[in-house]
Amino acid sequence: MATLYSPQNQAGVMSFYDAPTKGPKINPKLVLVAVMVFAVVILILDHVSYLA
């Protein structure tokens, strides 16, 4: 049997994700760039290890 979701349930989920947190505010673009840089560094180190 399918569960029906009322707007009240959906509003509760949204208010949970919109709640302010005490953690640091980090720009998502900064996180994306940091992950890409980390991946490139790992690939370079892996490549260098094959040369040694």
19 is a domain residue: no
Q: How far apart are CA 27 and CA 37, in angstroms?
A: 16
43 is a domain residue: yes
Expressed as residue numbers, the domain containing 52 is 26-52
Query: Which pLDDT score is estimated for 3?
Result: 59
Query: Which pLDDT score is estimated for 43?
Result: 94
pTM of the model: 0.55
| pLDDT tens track, the chain, 52 positions | 555 555 555 555 556 566 677 888 889 999 999 999 999 999 999 988 877 6
1 is a domain residue: no
Tell me if residue 6 falls in helix, strand or coil.
Answer: coil
11 is a domain residue: no
